[in-house]
Homo-oligomer: A and B are copies of this chain.
Amino acid sequence: MDRYTPGLHILATLNTSHPLLLTDVDSCRHFFDGLILSLGLTKVGEVYHGFPKAGFTAIVCLTESHVSIHTWPEHGLATFDVFLSNFENDNSQKARTFCRETAAFFSAEVVNVTEVLR
């Protein structure tokens, strides 16, 4: 049967040679806030958690669903995902833009991408 598919979920691994960026939770928060605003998305909650002398975890809840990132500076990588529902608009391109802009922010190569229409 046809089943409702809320939207596109993208998982990506970001590989950077600038690991200090992966320890700077405040810069990430500032970047995410600006990108959410510029893409016209709506934040309804967030968690930013830095680990001592290590990476951080950030999750932003959106009315459109969520964005998350977990950083692993000791490996120069971050695991990123963005899920945007299409409740009022097709947000698939915004999800891809969010992923691409996040990779650029971390000066990162996107080494693995999984797109799931779910």
Task: State the A residues within 8 Å of B (CB).
Answer: 3-4, 6, 9, 11, 13, 15, 44-49, 51, 57, 59, 61, 63, 65-66, 68, 70, 72, 75, 77, 79, 81, 83, 85, 111-112, 114, 116, 118
Contacts and interface: CB of A to CB of B under 8 A. Distances in A.
Given A3-B111, A65-B70, A44 B59 contact: no
Query: What does DSSP make chain A's interface, helix, strand, loop or mixed?
Result: strand
Contacts of A66: 57, 59, 68, 70
25 contacts: A3-B13, A3-B75, A3-B111, A4-B75, A6-B72, A9-B11, A11-B116, A11-B118, A13-B118, A44-B47, A44-B49, A45-B48, A45-B49, A46-B47, A51-B63, A57-B61, A57-B65, A59-B66, A59-B68, A66-B68, A66-B70, A79-B118, A81-B81, A81-B83, A112-B118
Contacts of A11: 9, 116, 118
Nearest to A111: B3
